[in-house]
Structure 1
Amino acid sequence: MSGAMRMAIAMLLAFAGVVAPVRASDADADFATFLSRWREAVATNDAEAVASLTQVPFLFESEPRDRQTVARTVVPALLTADVRRCLRTATPLREDDRYVLSCAPYLFYLGRVDGQWRWVEFAADGEA
């Protein structure tokens, strides 16, 4: 391998090391902004705002739900007063390319859809 080729590879690797953390921190800042908005909507029990931050169709009771149904049915069913209180301070844990919040009896998954953070799904918490 020529010296010029080695230099080019070294520069690419050095540049990749500089760019990757910037992208990660940008993604973290985007997530923090989304999480703040989502938590505010949840805490104030603003079903319309929660629905606007939700990926639709949203699977609930084995059926895909649209935004109106998320606001009218899903939010009241899943986001009880106790769950809303928990979600204010629950620590988001990274799971692959998304985050999960655990508030018994559910796990809440937040992920990127078309470059935007959204509430993408929920699951029963097997440890609750």
Structure 2
Amino acid sequence: MKLLLRIMLAIALVNLAPAVAAAPKDAVASPALQKEFDGFIEKFRAALKANDSAAVAGMTRLPFMNDSAIRDAAQFRAKTYASSFTAKNRACLQRGKAIYDRDPDKNDSYFVFCGELIFVFTKTPAGFLFTDISVND
């Protein structure tokens, strides 16, 4: 009985090894990418500190979240900035740690968690842009 148990355990470990080896590692941004993001987020935070909705809109991919109702800077300021960039969220974004990740499509993004919201900044051909607000579930 003990021999059978040992054999079954050995088989289980052998079958588990490839899955463990293939487990994704925590993503780490290259130094150049990190430097580019640091420059972007410094400007973004300065715009938030000044409560400059026009500057934030200028650093946002439009139409915002592919919503045709938020296709330009004026619509972004009216429909998104006022409700999502409250004083509390602006303060959080100014001090919050940005977490890097790379998705399976090789898109580089940084996330800042502020209470119930996640603010997403993605590398685009035009450089980093504010691209999404998601619910922190």
Fold conserved between structures, TM > 0.5: yes
1:105 aligns with 2:111: no
DSSP 3-state at the match of 2:60: coil
Per-residue deviation, 1:40: 1.0
Mapped partners of 1:73, 1:121: distance in 2: 14
Task: Return 5+ residue gaps in structure 1 as ranges.
Answer: 1-22
Per-residue deviation, 1:64: 4.4
Q: Deviations over 1:4-60 (max 9, x none)?
A: xxxxxxxxxxxxxxxxxxx92221111000000011111221000000000011038
DSSP 3-state at the match of 1:29: helix
Q: Identify the structure with the greater strand proportion.
A: 1
**Same amino acid, percent of matched pairs:** 21
Task: Return 5+ residue gaps in structure 2 as ranges.
Answer: 1-28, 103-107
* TM-score normalised to structure 1 length: 0.74
Native 8 Å contact 1:52 1:67 kept in 2: yes
How many residue pairs match? The answer is 103
Poorly superposed stretches of 4+, deviation over 4 Å? none
Backbone CA RMSD of aligned residues? 1.8
User: What is residue 13 of structure 1 aligned with on the other side?
Assistant: none
* TM-score normalised to structure 2 length: 0.69
